[in-house]
Structure 1
């Protein structure tokens, strides 16, 4: 189930909600083991999402391809670039679909992507499961209509992907200035 939730790019509940729900249903479950199983499912699902996203690189404009290649080259040159980026993203409860879609479009090939993400997600899931009751109830109260919450989170994720693809990474990396380019989709 977690693999499918993490392979889908949008309209899925966050994995931590699924794991926390399992724990709230059966508090005798080992939190660390549940988090490790969850992180494994999330990592495998994100692997498939990255592979699928790479197929859509042909639909990205040349300027965006160049930008994505530049950030990929930058992360490749850093000894722990991918592992740190993936760990930091995995350690937060934020949706990681945008990160793996970007990795797919960049055609990132480092195994450290998955190692960093798995360790980050394991830590994040332990915290979220342990504090699940305190975290999950307010989340559901804010979004009584769960579909609204999922749509808002996914909308933010799509916006972040567009923002990521719009950054001129050459200028950011070399000149330390933020400059944007128009994504191909805006030229329709």
Structure 2
């Protein structure tokens, strides 16, 4: 299959993984596998295609959370609480952009960030660009490092141990989103102490 077609398949896979709210395998695993199977492809090309697809998938996830926030499923009081977060982000755009960039470069899963961001209905442009840049950097490292490690070490994770860790971590992250919506952000942002929203 031509390299361009393979990159399109990769983009589709990355998009689907990043549009899922939870229980999607880490994108870097797919990229490392692709790099091992297609050693002639430039790492920057793989990282660029994956970063665009990942950003698109995460934005779709955030928009889904926005629709939930605007629906009757979210109480007006909780919706107003989430607006406090959005106002704080808009009021500190530069700091927010730098924080999102650092998060995107890190290996931390970003599904929770986009779910929380979407529920807050904050401007997606403040998250999209730093996420794309951060993921491009981290994916480049993942492609180069993953392919090298795979060739040199040929390590394989235990399927059972890896599966248990993955399920537990995703459940904890989803619980984190629920806790995010339960914080009284008006009080927290003004007093710098977290207070539960009732």
Q: TM-score range by the shorter chain?
A: 0.7 to 0.9
State the Cα deviation string for residues 18-41 of structure 1 (Å, max 9, x = none): 111111222322112211111111
User: Is residue 2:35 matched to residue 1:4?
Assistant: no
Unaligned runs of 5+ in 1: 183-188
Name the counterpart of 2:92: 78
Displacement of 1:91: 1.2
User: Is residue 2:28 matched to residue 1:16?
Assistant: yes
Name the counterpart of 1:66: 80
Task: Decide whether aligned partners of structure 1 residues 137 and 153 sit closer, same or farther in structure 2, where only a CA change above 3 A counts.
Answer: farther
Displacement of 1:180: 2.4
Name the counterpart of 2:58: 46
Q: Equivalent residues in 2 for 1:131-142 (5 A)?
A: 131-132=145-146, 134=149, 141=157
| Contact 1:39–1:125 (8 Å) recurs in 2 | yes
Unaligned runs of 5+ in 2: 1-12
Q: Equivalent residues in 2 for 1:167-186 (5 A)?
A: 167-181=183-197
State the Cα deviation string for residues 123-169 of structure 1 (Å, max 9, x = none): 1112222221549976x525546543432232122022122222222
User: Is residue 2:104 matched to residue 1:111?
Assistant: no
Rounded Cα–Cα distance in structure 2 between residues aligned with 1:169 and 1:34: 40
| 127-136 or 40-49, which deviates more | 127-136
Rounded Cα–Cα distance in structure 2 between residues aligned with 1:108 and 1:174: 19
| Contact 1:36–1:122 (8 Å) recurs in 2 | yes
Displacement of 1:82: 4.0
Rounded Cα–Cα distance in structure 1 between residues aligned with 2:122 and 2:110: 15
Task: Decide whether aligned partners of structure 1 residues 88 and 102 sit closer, same or farther in structure 2, where only a CA change above 3 A counts.
Answer: same
User: Is residue 2:164 matched to residue 1:152?
Assistant: no
State the Cα deviation string for residues 78-119 of structure 1 (Å, max 9, x = none): 132442232122112221111111122112224131001001
Aligned Cα root-mean-square deviation (Å): 2.3
Task: Decide whether aligned partners of structure 1 residues 25 and 74 sit closer, same or farther in structure 2, where only a CA change above 3 A counts.
Answer: same
Name the counterpart of 2:7: none
Query: What TM-score, normalized to structure 1?
Result: 0.84
Query: What TM-score, normalized to structure 2?
Result: 0.80
| Contact 1:82–1:116 (8 Å) recurs in 2 | no
Rounded Cα–Cα distance in structure 1 between residues aligned with 2:80 and 2:154: 44
